[in-house]
Structure 1
């Protein structure tokens, strides 16, 4: 499996998956589109060697990350992001849909969070959103693959009740999802609306700040 596709694993009781980790209340997750590709590239290039190792399973150079971002197909996969006040991506979750095997449809999830934004529940919130989208997309199994030393991902997987298997320094986590229902569909819709509204507020605040700065007198050196 392409290590640049995704990373994140005991199965969850099907009836209890609507209440996955919620993270912090102020963390809002917005679905990304091809318009956000440059922001995605900026986000991944900002990861240091250790973070790239944990995210991709190996320390990848910039040109590989550039190829990875260019190759993301937003009509096939689903990508989520959490924006800070500067409209920078603090966290990114990539949900890839794998080929169906009989009645089993699996999606693989990978996540990255900038060091400056950790401790805010961003990774858990991205996972929660990915799980809800997976349910609503008729996915029956959510899968995460990561290095066993990736304590953050292992913690998210354990918190979600995923089945985790360890081998050769790597970990595979599996979550059995319950079918979509009106609650899961409504929850995802409301979460996306809130995130879009939050992004609009941040964008307007950013524009207002820049406009204000443009009217500020320029200091003249003595």
Structure 2
């Protein structure tokens, strides 16, 4: 399956290098590039790409605002942030705006290509350092556990927590020593109970629902 991606970055050298790199992959096409968030929204409207690779700090319209517009106008297009910033404020703002992925520009070619493919398949993509910051943030901010409100089973809560940690289905299956088919069944059930429409929604919910747990490195899955 081919994945189409619009590359958005205000730095011409970076934007063009990313576009050429991605276009070289057999299963990825780059129908357009954009120099700011406003152009990104226009490119999405024109080309309806599967994925947008989005810088954050740009003139005219920044990446967070552009992501929010794209999420509203083209919910089928997934946004993956690629930026030099990995501070809590930037990460949370992007995810809350609707981004399904967050990478720093330290990511290598293989990681960026895989992120585009994963996002095109509806999977959440978080750089390891971003996952660590999100877990640390959840540890610092005690929030009431909300998992009970949907009647999740113990296994569904466990899997939701692993989704919040950024694990994919095969990794969850290996961690819990169950089949991938069983994992998919549990995920389908908890998605149905909570009304989640994407894995990104489940990630955001898991992070918001997780209060600190001193016995588990300061983090407890809901």
- TM-score scaled by length of structure 2: 0.30
The structure in which a higher percent of residues are strand is 1
Higher relative contact order (CA 8 A, sep 6+): 1
- TM-score scaled by length of structure 1: 0.30
Q: Which has the larger radius of gyration?
A: 1
